[in-house]
């Protein structure tokens, strides 16, 4: 891979973090300037309604390394992150939270791992400073499920402090709520994923923007991510596996109907129903293969535009 001391982009997405941005900037600069490698800190302001923008703008004069990307409105963390990635110019791209819960002092250790050959280094908040029931417990369960479903060996997906080699980021396009799965999404490209324990501080200023309500969303997203990462080359297999229990059910209902003979009307209807579900799963898989196949070829747009009436 590339030489060691490449340039670095730190991407921080902030939304209403007026009390946190300046201390964060200060601490990050204190850590990064002595490293002796070119760097930039990209703050993405996700449509904050407080003083976040104004304070960062004021700080820009004293910090030439600061780049402030202002979004037009609040687009959510995923799109803000993508905006930051799109603007980042470093060979290594590092992300962290805007709420001071991550410690910039951990940055050099993440960079070391990248230099040791990892493509992705994820932080692991070993001593997590959050409420037990509302934050830590759901997160622990979610991480276990994510690990099992995606087979990505990371203990703490939710930790924002992560470092990536540029080329794995360039292949991503984030939407919906994928910011939680950036590390997982790099896996199909063959990225080497590493993990190190990092510090975690309790939130001092501002309010946490998460809640328990996201459990259903995370579970649904996980299903998507699992399909996209593990079966992206062969959706027909994924859908066939989904349909397999219905095939088994259908066959057993058919046997049952045969055994019942004339009294087996209900059983035979059930058998047909389950069979249809299986078939539609197969169709979905074939359709999915078509989707992938068509995305491989560059599509020549054939819009058939004709100019309609009027002077020009």
Partner 1 sequence: MTAAALPSAISVLVPIVERHDDLRELHRSLVPELLKLERPYEVIYLVSAEFDAAFEQARQLHDADAAHVRVLRFARPVSEAAALASGFERAQGEVVLTVPAYFDADLKGIGLLYAALGDGADFAFASRTERSDGWLKQIQARGFNRLSAWATGTSFRDVASGTRAVHREVLVELPLYGDFHRFLPVLAERVGFRVREIPVPQDARAAAPLVYRPRTYLYRLLDLLSMFFLSHFTRRPLRLFGALGAVFGALGAAILLVVGVERLFGAPLAGRPILVLGTLLVGLGVQSLTIGLLGELMLFFQARDVRDYRIAEIIECAEPPLPPRSSARA
CB of residue 124 to partner 1, shortest distance in Å = 28
Nearest 10 degrees: Cα torsion 196, 199, 204, 206: -10
Cα 185 to Cα 294: distance, rounded to the nearest angstrom: 21
Looking at residues 223 to 252 of the shown chain, list those that interact with partner 1 (rule: CB under 8 A).
223-224, 227-228, 232, 235, 239, 242-243, 246, 249
Q: Single out the segment in contact with partner 1 by CB under 8 A; choices: 75-83, 94-102, 148-156, 206-214.
A: 75-83
Q: Which is nearer to partner 1, 26 or 177 (CB)?
A: 177
CB of residue 187 vs partner 1: minimum separation in angstroms? 14
Can you tell me which of 34, 64, 298, 301 binds partner 1, judged by CB under 8 A?
Answer: 64
Q: How far is CA 8 from CA 24, 165, 181, in A?
A: 17, 10, 22
Q: How far is CA 277 from the centre of its chain?
A: 31
Q: Which is nearer to partner 1, 137 or 175 (CB)?
A: 175
* Contact string 258-287 vs partner 1 (x = CB under 8 A): --x--xx-xx-xx--xx-xx--xx--x--x
Residues 40-59 that bind partner 1 (CB under 8 A): 40, 47, 56-57
d(CA 170, CA 106): 24
- For the segment 83-122, give every residue that binds partner 1 (CB under 8 A): 83, 86-87, 89-90
Q: Is 189:165 a contact under the CB 8 Å cutoff?
A: no
Convert 274-300 to b/e letters by CB count within 10 Å (16 or more is b). bbebbeebbebbeebbeeeeeeeeeee
Within positions 120 to 179, which residues make up the interface with partner 1, using CB under 8 A? 170-171, 173, 175-177
Using CA atoms, how far apart are residues 167 and 262, in angstroms rounded to an integer? 65
């Amino acid at each position: 891979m590339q030489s060691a001391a490449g340039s670095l982009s730190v991407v921080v997405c902030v939304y209403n973090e007026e009390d946190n941005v300046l201390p964060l900037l200060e601490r990050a600069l204190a850590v990064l300037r002595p490293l002796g490698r070119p760097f930039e800190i990209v703050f993405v302001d996700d449509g904050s309604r407080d003083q976040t923008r104004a304070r960062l703008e004021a700080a820009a004069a004293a910090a030439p390394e600061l780049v402030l990307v202002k979004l037009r409105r609040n687009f959510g963390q995923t799109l803000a992150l993508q905006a930051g990635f799109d603007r980042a110019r470093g060979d290594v791209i590092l992300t962290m939270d805007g709420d001071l819960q991550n410690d910039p002092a951990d940055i050099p250790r993440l960079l070391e791992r990248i230099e040791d050959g990892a493509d992705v280094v994820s932080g692991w908040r070993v001593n997590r400073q959050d409420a037990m029931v509302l934050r830590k417990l759901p997160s622990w369960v979610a991480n276990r499920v994510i690990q099992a479903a995606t087979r990505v060996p990371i203990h703490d997906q939710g930790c924002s402090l992560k470092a990536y080699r540029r080329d794995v980021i360039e292949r991503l396009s984030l939407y919906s709520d994928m910011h939680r799965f950036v590390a997982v999404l790099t896996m199909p490209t063959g990225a080497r994923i590493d993990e190190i324990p990092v510090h975690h501080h309790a939130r001092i200023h501002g309010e946490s923007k998460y809640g328990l309500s996201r459990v259903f969303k995370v579970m649904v997203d996980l299903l998507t991510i699992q399909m996209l990462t593990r079966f992206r080359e062969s959706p027909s297999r994924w859908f066939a596996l989904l349909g397999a229990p219905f095939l088994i059910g259908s066959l057993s209902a058919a046997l049952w109907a045969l055994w019942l003979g004339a009294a087996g009307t209900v059983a035979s209807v059930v058998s047909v129903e389950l069979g249809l579900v299986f078939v539609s799963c197969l169709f979905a898989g074939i359709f999915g293969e078509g989707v992938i196949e068509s995305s491989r070829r560059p599509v020549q747009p054939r819009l058939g535009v004709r100019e309609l009436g009027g002077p020009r």
